[in-house]
Amino acid sequence: MVKEKSGPSVRITTQFRSGRSMVYDLSCEDTRLTVEIAPSDDPTGTFTAAAHARQSPELPSIAEPGPTRGEALQAVGRAWVAKDGAFGFPRVDWDLVGQALHAVRAI
């Protein structure tokens, strides 16, 4: 019996702590993505999320702040999508990235 492919998938392949940050390596179809989430250095209690595609020659990277980990990740997703594939930013389903990170309580 052949398994049917149910559509795009995102899965976390590695997660680890790096200083004050949590780092998540994700497999997103043809893209390998690293997401780092950390509390901001300022006293406001905000967070910063950063993401970069590992296999792109340009090593595109975006970092955005947010009042929560989830909102910082959403800001990164919006900024990434706005690039629309330019400058080496591969297409990524940020809803699926959010679901994968939510499943491990990262956001």
Structural domain contains residue 83: yes
Structural domain contains residue 1: no
Per-residue tokens: 23: 């780092």
Structural domain contains residue 3: no
Question: What does the alpha-carbon distance between residue 43 and residue 25 come to, in Å, rounded to a whole number?
Answer: 28
Residue ranges making up the domain that contains 38: 10-98
Structural domain contains residue 92: yes
Structural domain contains residue 5: no
Total of domains in the chain: 1
pLDDT in tens for each of the 107 residues of the chain?
A: 555 556 668 999 999 999 999 999 999 988 899 999 999 887 888 999 999 998 777 788 999 999 999 999 999 999 999 998 888 889 899 999 999 999 999 98
Structural domain contains residue 17: yes
